[in-house]
Structure 1
Amino acid sequence: MKSLAVIISHPIQYYVPLFKLLAQHYNLKVFYTWGEDGGSTKYDPGFKKTIAWDLPLLEDYEYEFLVNTAKDPGSQHYKGIVNPGLNNAIETFTPDFILIYGWAYQSHLSALRYFKGKIPVLFRGDSTLLDEQKGIKAILRSLFLKWVYQHIDQALYVGTESKKYFKRFGLQEHQLIFAPHAIDNERFARDRSEEALTIRKSLGISTDEILILFAGKLERKKNPELLLEGFIELCTSVADRPSLLEGQKTKHEKQTKLHLLFVGNGELEESLKSRVESFKLQRSFGSRRSRDRFASDVNPIAIGSEQVIDDELCRTHFMDFQNQTQMPAVYQACDLFCLPSQGPGETWGLAVNEAMACGKAVLVSDKVG
């Protein structure tokens, strides 16, 4: 059996299922370079809270947490991961191949350089050219990246844009292996319909109403503001067509109610809620109606605040960050998943994979998937 060493910063919920699968076919060992403190519990600046994933991330494969001597440990900067013992630990394991996730840490780049020509080096990255910059800095960065990728034997690209990126910086077709981003499809596809129905009921959403879902960090690159503005525009256009509504009433038809649910936290959370409130006030003042109510709901998964755009036709809801074991039911509760990411820095959007594994329609921008 061939031996494979994996170098990656810390346990990541999206990659662990792959490690478990590889362990069934290779003598696998994963070397975590962040150190013990970079384990399953860490502060996530995107969610603005400490995250502890509720799935086991250290089972069914061999791993080792390496000592990180960085003065400021972390995965956000080059000097955040410094492992004096990394190369020696790899050599002791005597792998046939090395798979390295990312080069932008001191130890990872050191390993790329050290093992060049000694052990075949595979590289995994998901960068693209979608947000390519111009100018002298971009030229210098291009030269640097071409130098970096001279140290790898093959690159695992995740999609068409990722492949273009690697080719731009010097890799040849025979060096590129298609290895798309993937999730644990079986776990997300498992029937959670009863829990999904409970979620809808807790939010006051009946089975004949439409629920649009956004799940992820409420940050600019994911562009949740665009989704909210589009939802408001949709609700406004429907509400401002009384003749259409009257026509439906005479036919004894019920106008379909629309719901938008944001699941997650982040820097834009308060501004999104404020935008909903301001729209409520505008509608109330413009139509001389009393102000819509503000409600706070407790659902069976988490405490989430709910705000009303138009109580007759449209409602928008906010739910706090939901952990991995709860997300399949959340996806299965919706009718449509939307991820309107604009970048820069959005390379895939694995929430799209998760929603599709749950059998849901998706509406996404050309920056994801």
Structure 2
Amino acid sequence: MPERRYRILFVASHPVQYQAPLFRRMAKQSSLDLHVAYCTLRGAEAGHDPEFGASIQWDVPLLDGYSWTHVLNRGSGAESFFGLFNPSLWKLIRSGNYDAVVSYVGYVRASFWVALAAAKLSNAAFIFGTDAVSLAPRDQRAWKSKAKKFLWPRLFRLADQVIVPSASGVDLMRSLGIPQERVTLTPFVVDNDWWMQQSKLVDRPAVRAGWGAAPDTLVILFSAKLQPWKRPLDLLRAFAKANLSNAILVFAGAGPLLPQLESEAASLGVAYRVRFLGFLNQTQLPAVYTAADLLVLPSEFEPFGVVVNEAMCCGCAVIVSDRVGAGRDLVAPLCPELIYPFGNTDALAAILQRAHASPMWLSGLASASRKQMETRGPQENVTATVDSVQTAVTRIRRICTAAIAIVPPTHPGVSPEPKKR
């Protein structure tokens, strides 16, 4: 019997460097007939990224190797409900004869609701999820947490299958009352092969020399947007407290905190040991991770943190705060001591001191990090995504079959017998 082939539409806000390799892999799956609908082309085309505070265009191919459509955005393009409003999704889904629609657009955008309504009326399975690991919002406003506690159980019951990228995300869905069989873990991944291959091409001593780092210098890296919730100032202050005799701190990223970081580095007396690289495009990052010894992600709000995957692929050990979702999935299995309480700069400084004093320990962690990524790559995500589609479509077909079975047959030209009084 031939393998069942599912016709799937993915709805995405814009091309993303992490998703494109997954779409390419899924396009090669014999069980999937895949198409992607983009609500904007930001990222593939130059466009303003409000969090970087700059115009960004990624320098890796984002639209090759799979079928896609740009659906015209009638919205404002702002970070608001009607920032993404793509009414043409309605016709695309209603006429597309899809078995499932997978939305990577969040419920806070109008286009999500267009896709949801069209999929439900077309008897297509509707699959969506969240990267959240708790109800706490990034801005810490209490009313939002209360609203989510009331609304999210109802929201996620609209999904024929919920997809989440982390173990903590699975726990969150279960706490909201979503049954285990309705939740699929589709792990956050990067294109491991690409990162590892690029890392092998890096002239590590030359990159480090460009930063003024000797072979035995401890290079500590921050790779993220310089935004308040990423807490780069925590790392800078911990670095100063650690008072390491032979170490430098490298910031790779752009954002509004840059002037404050530069000023504070000077006031702490460590400016001569701090490097600011600015925004780095995708092809520039493997060299940075490969040349560094240790990545630190001190975020206050970080549902996952895919930079952890990137760094580990390049053989870089990682420290994270306990607010980083990747800590549980990727860091704890190697060394739980590399996870510290958010905001505790003394605890972070102590880990930096240990790393500085124990280069062999750090080298072992780097090797273990790279090894771990061999079993957490794109194929694991693709397999889980296909499983979520199969599960959701099977459930929808079973419901439709049951509904048909309970509807009494009708015959043309024959009126039903009137009820007796």
Are 2:164 and 1:157 equivalent residues in the alignment? yes
Equivalent residue, structure 1, for 2:107: 103
Question: Which residue number in structure 1 is paired with residue 89 of structure 2?
Answer: 86
> Structure 1 residues 337, 130: closer, same or farther in 2, change over 3 A?
farther
8 Å CA contact retained: 2:248, 2:274: yes
Q: What is the deviation of 1:350?
A: 0.7
CA shift at 1:93, angstroms? 2.5
Q: Which residue number corresponds to residue 43 of structure 1?
A: 48
Deviation by residue 1:67-100 (Cα, 9 ceiling, x = unmatched): 1111x223x2111111121021123322211111
Instruction: Give 1:153's aligned amino acid.
Output: D
State the alpha-carbon separation in 1 of the partners of residues 200 and 280 from structure 2. 15
Question: Structure 2: how far apart are the matches of 1:278 and 1:59?
Answer: 48
Match of residue 32 from structure 1: 38
Match of 2:333 in 1: none
SS of corresponding position for 2:25: helix
Where does the alignment leave 5 or more consecutive residues of structure 1 unmatched? 239-255, 284-306, 309-314
Q: Hey, what does 2:309 align to over in structure 1?
A: 353
CA contact (8 A) 1:214 1:262 kept: yes
Q: CA deviation at 1:193?
A: 5.3
* Corresponding residue of 2:147: 140
Equivalenced residue count is: 314
Instruction: Identify the residue that residue 202 of structure 1 maps to in structure 2.
Output: 210
Q: Does residue 10 of the first structure (1) align with residue 17 of the second (2)? A: no
In structure 1, give the amino acid aligned to 2:278: D
Which whole-Å CA distance do the structure 2 matches of 1:350 and 1:357 have between them? 11
Point out where structure 2 has 5 or more consecutive residues left out of the alignment.
327-421
1:68 is matched with which residue? 73
CA shift at 1:166, angstroms?
Answer: 2.1
Letter in 2 for 1:175: R
Q: Greater CA deviation, 316-325 or 127-136? A: 127-136
Cα separation, 2, equivalents of 1:364 and 1:213 = 12
Contact 1:8/1:33 (8 A) holds in 2: yes
SS of 2:282's equivalent in the other structure is coil
Distance 1:141 1:349 in 2: 22
Matched, 1:189 2:196: yes
Check the 8 A contact 2:126/2:159 in 1, yes or no. yes
Distance in 2, Cα, partners of 1:332 & 1:134: 38
1:195 CA drift (Å): 3.2
Distance 2:286 2:136 in 1: 31
Match of 1:179 in 2: 186
Contact kept, 8 Å, 1:97 with 1:119, in 2: the verdict is yes
For residues 214 and 207 of structure 1, the distance between their equivalents in structure 2, rounded to whole angstroms, comes to 19
Name the counterpart of 1:244: none
Alignment of 1:257-272 (within 5 A): 257-272=246-261
Q: Answer yes or no: is the 8 Å Cα contact 2:93–2:118 preserved in 1.
A: no
8 Å contact from structure 2 (residues 253, 280) kept in 1 = yes
Equivalent residue of 2:51, what SS? Answer: coil
Structure 2 counterpart of 1:273, one-letter code: E
**1:300-336: CA deviation from partner (whole Å, max 9, x where unpaired):** xxxxxxx40xxxxxx1111111100111111000011
- Structure with the largest fraction of strand: 1
User: Measured at CA, do residues 193 and 57 of structure 1 come closer, stay the same or move farther in structure 2, by a change above 3 Å?
Assistant: closer
Indicate yes or no: 2:367 matched with 1:364: no
1:112 to 106, 116, 120: 116
CA RMSD across the alignment: 2.0
**Cα distance, 1:43 vs structure 2:** 0.9
Structure-2 residue corresponding to 1:324: 282
**Whole-Å separation in 2 of the counterparts to 1:365 and 1:130:** 18
Aligned mates of 1:37, 1:336 — CA distance in 2: 31
Determine which structure has the larger helix proportion and give its number: 2
Out of 176-185 and 101-110, give the one that drifted further.
Answer: 101-110
**2:266 counterpart of 1:277:** yes
Residue 196 of structure 1, CA deviation: 3.0
- d(CA) in 2 for partners of 1:50, 1:264: 13
Structure 2 CA distance, aligned partners of 1:196 and 1:65? 40
Post-superposition shift, 1:130?
6.1
Q: Which amino acid aligns with 1:202?
A: G
- Alpha carbons of 1:234 and 1:228: their partners in 2 closer, same or farther (altered >3 Å)? same
Q: Distance in 2 between matches of 1:105 and 1:14?
A: 21
Secondary structure of 1:364 counterpart: strand
Secondary structure in 1 matching 2:268 = helix
Write the distance in 2 (CA, Å) between the matches of 1:200 and 1:161: 36
Q: Which region of structure 1 is more displaced relative to structure 2, 124-133 or 223-232?
A: 124-133
Partner of residue 355, structure 2: none
Contact 1:130–1:161 at 8 Å: present in 2 too? Answer: no
Structure 1 residue 233 displacement after superposition: 0.6
CA distance in 2: counterparts of 1:192 and 1:106, whole angstroms: 44
Contact 2:44 2:63 in 1 (8 A): no
* Structure 1 residue 221, shift from structure 2 partner: 1.0
